[in-house]
Structure 1
């Protein structure tokens, strides 16, 4: 790490921007959004900044990333489903040429552009088929191809925290290299990916501080996405804390959210998922407690990394004029890693000692270590998303609602005495590009590298963050795997594939318990019409593809 001293006070006043995206974290998984998990650094940002309780993502990893990076909906950016090429430009699995990334736009406006963490918008990188990898090709664009001056991280969507594949580092000027051999798989004993993402981010910030230009850092953690991997000292802080079970946890978080002012006290908790057994009926309570403890430890370690980034900014005198935005790419993940499931074929890992990693939720194994590969499963995800319905993949609130924390002492008024400002306006990851360009004083381009760029879809929420009156002008739309939704003002139209439409008045019923469609058919019909126009414009295809 290079040494440096804080820049002088004459530095241009355009803010640095740190955009933090975490992976598969539920709505109530951090302290300032109702959790028992220790997240003091995120809590500090919330206390001295602003929280939005009605921020949304795109229900899945790479669609959210595509939308966040481009200010377009996922299909418009080329990632209408996942990273596999499905034969049309809306589903090609990597960022399209007729979109511009936030890094490309900010770099053209004089910003240094940095990224540390997970990419996952550049085509498939299956760990078992490295012969298919083509980093930097037209169908496998990397961050360095899409506007970032500097990158450290992984190209694939999920993997071991101790021995991940596709770990690479490089600069746009000098090129890139895999960290370890052809496949970039870490073989050292003491590596932990969350720590590496944080440390590299701090290095990048310190180096960027040597220059007069402000910087944009995209900090994309893989935590707390499966597998359940955490350091023993972090797990120890939580082991035993979840023996009361997921039912008690859902209820406790719901009550805490109401007490914090994040949720309206009249909103009842969503009914228990029929696929989530009562805790009293569940087997292996000690093993289940440990699974949730590992998950909590992953979030704890991520928060520690955020704290390191905050401390670096403070040391360099840049904390006051840095806009920090924090959110999750989807709701808590109910995906089961079965003992004999698909993950066994996709993730053939070995530890640094050459021992095979046992993939799946195997009850005779202790989760957390490098030789395991587990998920925390549906009942715990149900608690993570308290008080909402459903999970990652779906576009009911449990799949798309995310915390949003914004912190910028020089630009956002704070109210720490009351625990921080809280706002309740519908916003979406599609708005983040417009917001960042707004605060940076950078225009959205009409073309990039000779290609006409699609008009931006998102709206700047900077006025809302500054405490000004702001109301969304256009609806928010969703489609993922046939799950569909429209949100405008207090109304939301939503359907779970292959089911029928439902209509909810979100001011009265954000937990989506009582559909009002039969009593408001004109409103529903209008939203359906708007959805169909949007779906046609964005080239949404019928599911299954």
Structure 2
């Protein structure tokens, strides 16, 4: 491998389900990611935190989101809740790498500050990134994104050309940062794709027309079969069939409109894959591909959120000016919400793809973004490092976001910052995956989650999980990864042991009971997400 320190490139996508890309079973064309996986390692039991902001906070700090101040979204819930901004008492990977002499750059979505318009200590330019181009807020238009900044300077929409498309621009600018880096770099590319709104270029839509005509039932079965053939999910794991809240495809009254929704979503995934290709090409052209660690993953599972199209719901949504532009680029009103009268894809629409297609995205799991059942937290994870001695295998050992920072720091020899501004920062709780990626033995450690009161612990193949205010459920993931057969009644002692472990973790990392968060939020003014 030589003595040259490796570059690090993290590529994060937004609201993409477990099975959407080709190398995890999907029918959407993703040749660049499939090629990356073919030359790297795929993990089948890797987990995020179920929601965009906490996943970003955990990924960039190596801590559990509750330790970072960003446990739900970026709203400030007052003294009794979470502040919703990245704490000054934790260090980012960018800060650790910059202290070690790396050039650091971020292209794309930040979503870790409750101050979206005025530069603050929680902006990327003040949390270790030498270079930033992207959006401070979360979801937004792909044709006219709000809170777009170059460093700390706002980028007016009038500066964007007629062919501007955010996903493409993220790829172009990330590639430029790679070409211009004069030292080893730490790069973070945070796509908003394929998060709603369903905005796609005509050329990408043309490639997805007809791809889903057989409907979600047939496609879910086929994705599952491809996963089995690729060794992504074991053949003794049960298949979670269609969500009971979703009609059979043959009973769906608005098939044409439903197909338009999924075609637009798939077009966004294709655009993201093309942008990844742009970035990988920059690595090849600069001779850096061999010694660059590339990590690809999603921030949560497929998103079942439906956007209201009734007048009250649409008007309420429009008032969030940091999420949705006031008008389309041609000055016409935005068409907001999910209804058959609004065909998705164009810049004057603001829609999502809904629960039925999210159920397909999360094959073979149940639940969605926000839940800590498998459908909410399971993500593809691809790691590629040609010079790093990785095995090229499919790996089934369970890991989560807190394990990425220790892995990257060990691989590069960069020490984690022990303090920030003279104050100590928490020690990293995760376990390095580097030995495992090189063919070594798995590191046994418990995994933990809490999000909006939903809670889970995984210990080996056993997972204890509950929805907010619901009872604990127990699953043996070696035979039931889809969480279809609750074994809690048969194993009360195991339930109690795992519940006790979860509570000790929650106390240690500062989980606030969700009822207390809701009470605190009720006293605060309404804020955009």
* TM-score, normalization by structure 1: 0.91
**1:508 — aligned with what?**
479
Task: Tell me whether 267-276 or 102-111 shows the greater mean CA deviation.
Answer: 267-276
Q: 1:248 to 1:198 in 2, by over 3 A?
A: same
1:90/1:539 contact within 8 Å kept:
no
In structure 2, the CA distance between the partners of 1:334 and 1:196, relative to structure 1 (3 Å rule), is same
Match of 1:218 in 2: 188
Distance 1:464 1:299 in 2: 29
Which of 461, 474, 491 matches 2:433?
Answer: 461
SS at match of 1:237: helix
The equivalent residue for 2:525 is none
User: 1:311 and 2:281 equivalent?
Assistant: yes
What's the CA shift string for 1:230-249, capped at 9, x where partnerless?
10111111112212111111
Deviates more, 1:254-263 or 1:440-449: 440-449
1:394-422 per-position Cα deviation (integer Å, ceiling 9, x unaligned): 0000000000000000003355xxxxx10
C-alpha contact (below 8 Å) 2:62/2:430 kept by paired residues: yes
Structure 1, residues 494-543: CA drift from partner, whole Å, max 9, x if none?
A: 00122110111111111111111122211111110111111122222222
- The superposition leaves residues 156-196 of structure 1 with CA deviations (integer Å, 9 ceiling, x where unpaired) of 100000011111112xxxxx31111xxx6765421100011
Cα shift readout 1:64-118 (whole Å, capped 9, x = no counterpart):
0000010111110101111011124871101111100000011111111111000
Give the C-alpha shift of residue 348 in structure 1: 4.4
For the Cα contact (< 8 Å) 1:105–1:445, is it kept in 2?
yes
CA distance in structure 1 between the partners assigned to 2:391 and 2:511 by the alignment: 41
Residue 224 of structure 1, CA deviation: 0.2
SS of residue matched to 1:91: coil
Q: Which moved more, 1:340-349 or 1:433-442?
A: 340-349
In the alignment, does 2:147 pair up with 1:159? no
Structure 1 counterpart SS, 2:319: helix
Residue 173 of structure 2 corresponds to which residue in structure 1? 200
CA 1:253–1:185 in structure 2 vs 1: closer, same or farther (change >3 Å)? Answer: farther
Match of 2:353 among 376, 381, 389: 376
Q: What stretches of structure 1 move > 3 A for 4+ residues in a row?
A: 184-188, 412-415
Change (3 A) 1:243 1:423: same
Name which of structure 1's ranges 521-530 and 373-382 shifts more when overlaid on structure 2: 521-530
Does the CA-based 8 Å contact 1:24-1:392 persist in structure 2? yes
Q: Is the 8 A contact 2:146 2:325 kept in 1?
A: no
Partner of 2:383: 406
Write the deviation string for residues 341-384 of structure 1: whole angstroms up to 9, x where unpaired: 24233234322221221111131222100011110000000000
1:37-52 to structure 2, matched below 5 A, reads 37-52=28-43
Is 1:297 matched up with 2:267?
Answer: yes
Deviation per residue, 1:204-262 (Å, 9 max, x gap) = 00100xx2x21010000000000000101111111122121111111111111111110
1:134 to 109, 114, 118: 118
Structure 1 residue corresponding to 2:164, chosen from 191, 194, 199: 191
SS, match of residue 343 in structure 1 = helix
* Shift, 1:47, TM fit: 0.6
User: Would you say the 8 A contact 2:19–2:362 is kept in 1?
Assistant: yes
* CA distance, structure 1, for counterparts of residue 235 and residue 317 of structure 2: 41
Alignment map for 1:425-440 (pairs within 5 Å): 425-440=397-412
CA–CA separation in structure 1 for the residues paired with 2:348 and 2:271: 20
SS of residue matched to 2:485: coil
For 1:73 and 1:190, locate their aligned partners in 2 and report how far apart those are by CA, in whole Å: 39
Once residues 248 and 329 of structure 1 are traced to their aligned partners in structure 2, the CA distance between those partners, rounded to angstroms, is 27
Instruction: Describe how 1:93-112 pairs up with structure 2 within 5 A.
Output: 93-112=84-103
Choose which of 505, 508, 511 in structure 2 pairs with 1:537.
508
- Structure 2: stretches of 5+ with no match in the other structure: 519-529
Q: How does 1:49-448 map to 2 (within 5 A)?
A: 49-88=40-79, 91-123=82-114, 125=116, 133-136=117-120, 138=121, 141-170=122-151, 176-180=152-156, 188-208=161-181, 211=182, 213-340=183-310, 341=313, 342-346=316-320, 347-415=324-392, 421-448=393-420
Please say if 1:452 is aligned against 2:424.
Answer: yes
Query: What whole-Å deviation, never above 9, does each CA across 1:419-466 have from its counterpart, x for those lacking one?
Result: xx1000111111111111111101122211111101112211111111
Distance 2:463 2:5 in 1: 37
Moved more, 254-263 or 82-91: 82-91
Verify the 8 A CA contact 2:391 2:437 in the aligned structure 1. Answer: no
Measure the CA separation in 1 of the matches of 2:61 and 2:92.
Answer: 5
Contact 2:11–2:297 (CA<8 Å) still a contact in 1? Answer: yes
- Measured against aligned partners, the alpha-carbon deviations of 1:269-302 in whole angstroms (never above 9, x if no partner) come to 1132222111111122111111101100100010
Q: Structure 2: how far apart are the matches of 1:154 and 1:435?
A: 28
- What residue number does 1:3 align with? none
